[in-house]
Amino acid sequence: MALYPYSDTTKVFCGFTLLVLIVVPLVSAPFRRRSERRRQDRFVGREPLTSREVWERFYRESDVAMEDVEEAISVISKDTGVSTLLIRPSDRLGVELGLEGWEYPDEEPELDYWVDKRIKDAGRKVKFKSFETVDDVIRFSRSLRS
C-alpha cells in the first residue's frame, strides 16, 4: 500500500494550486499598493468635504436626498480606498477613482452588490445602465426612491 494514496496528477494539481494561492497574492501585493498610491495621489490638495457638505453644495436644490449621497459615496469609498471626504459627484469611476477594468478580478466591487440590493429592495424592474460618474450612482439611487 502506498504512503500517499493519491495519483501523481492529483499531487501535481494540489501542489500547483497551493503555489498559486501563495505566490500570486505575494507577487500582486506591490502592484496593488502602487495602484492605490497613484489613486490617492490624484486627490492631493483637494478640500475635504463630508457627505452632508457635498449634498449642500451640489444637491440641496434638487430632489436628491442626503441619504442617497452618503450611501453612494460610502460604497464607492469602500471599493476604491479613497476617503469619503475626497469623493465628488463629478469624479469619474474609471478615471479618477480607478474602478474601470476592476483591478482585483477575484473580488466583485461592493458597488455591484449595492446596486443589485437597491434594485431588489425597490421591488421593481429597472433598466440599468453603466455608471460613469459618482453623480450617476447618486441619481440612480434617487431614482429608486420614487
Q: Write the pLDDT tens digit of every residue in 47-94.
A: 999 999 999 999 999 999 999 999 999 999 988 888 999 999 999 988
Q: Please give the Cα distance from 99 to 125 (Å, whole number).
A: 25
| The C-alpha cell that represents 99 in the structure block | 474602478
pLDDT at 128: 64
Closest alpha carbon to 141 in 109, 122, 130, 94: 122
Give the angle subtended at the CA of 54 by the CAs of 53 and 60, to the nearest 5°.
Answer: 85
Q: Does the pTM exceed 0.85?
A: no
Q: pLDDT above 70 covers what percent of the chain?
A: 66
Angle at which helices 51-58 and 66-80 pack, to 10 degrees? 130
Q: For residue 26, is pLDDT > 80?
A: no
Q: Sketch the domain layout of the chain as residue ranges.
A: 1-41, 51-143
Q: What is the mean pLDDT of the chain?
A: 79
Exposed, middle or buried by CB within 10 Å (0-12, 13-18, 19+), for 125? exposed
Taking residues 129-142, report their average pLDDT. 88
Give yes or no for a contact between 57 and 103, defined as CB atoms under 8 angstroms apart.
no
Q: For residue 103, is pLDDT > 70?
A: no
What is the CATH number that goes with domain 51-143?
A: 1.10.1200
pLDDT at 102: 46
Identify the residue with better confidence: 80 or 36.
Answer: 80
